[in-house]
Amino acid sequence: MKESENRRTKDRRVSRTLKKIREAYLELAKEKNPAKITVSELAAAAGINRKTFYMYYSGTEELLGEIADDLLEKYRELISGVELYSGSFEPLRFFAAFRSIVREDYHTYELLGKLGLLPFLTDKLRVLLLDSVFQQYFAYAHLDGQDPKVQNRYYLYAEYMSAGLLAMVERWIEDPQMSLEEFTRFTARIVMNGLRTVEGSKQEVPVPPGSAGGSYPDL
């Protein structure tokens, strides 16, 4: 067997082992306090020995950190792909993808919740969203030439909107009494009305395509 084939075989074996460890950890976390899961019982549940576990992780804390980082990376990819002013932004698709990530990793959310780490993840998401939205709006509205006080006003709004939007999405996912379409309309209305307040009624508001007007003429 060639060296490249040996490497691929080894990589597949490692991937399977890591997957078994993660799945075993999430299953055990359903039954007991995640903080009390020992390496010995985790290794037994994954069908490996302790030595194998320590080949990849220094302890369950590192495993948990990797699980949280992987979840955060999914959101980073989603948010980084959003281009509000490109003409191709589709709010329905964005919120549907957001909901899909939550559903796919629901057990991870439960795990983080049990350990009191969910606020940490939410704050990371808020910062990702804040940076993406503000940077795009800053460039689109040419705020670089504005007074620092004006720039700060937009930044404060971006902070408010990012935190509020995440709270709305979390609530909607937990209790989806609105359809995806209704939620998207409702959210877009709140975001754009808030932006109009920041802009001032006498100024024209740069509106992301699909957020108001266009697909949502009644906003």
Mean of all residue pLDDT scores within the chain? 78
Distances in Å between the Cα of 3 and the Cα atoms of 8, 12, 16 are 9, 14, 20
pLDDT tens, position by position, 34-78: 889 999 999 999 999 999 999 999 999 999 989 888 888 998 888
- State which residues form the domain around 149: 64-219
Residue bearing the bigger pLDDT, 197 or 39? 39
Same domain, 26 and 87: no
Domain-ending residue, one of 41, 57, 73:
57
Same domain, 24 and 123: no
Domain-ending residue, one of 57, 87, 102:
57
Same domain, 94 and 152: yes
Mean pLDDT, residues 113-134 taken together: 83
Three-state SS at 70:
helix
Q: Find out whether 130 and 159 touch, Cβ atoms under 8 Å.
A: yes
Taken as a whole, the chain contains a residue count of: 219
Total number of domains in the chain? 2
Same domain, 167 and 212: yes
Half-sphere exposure of 74 (CA within 13 A, CB side): 17
Q: Find out whether 39 and 50 touch, Cβ atoms under 8 Å.
A: yes
Q: Find out whether 85 and 209 touch, Cβ atoms under 8 Å.
A: yes
Same domain, 73 and 120: yes
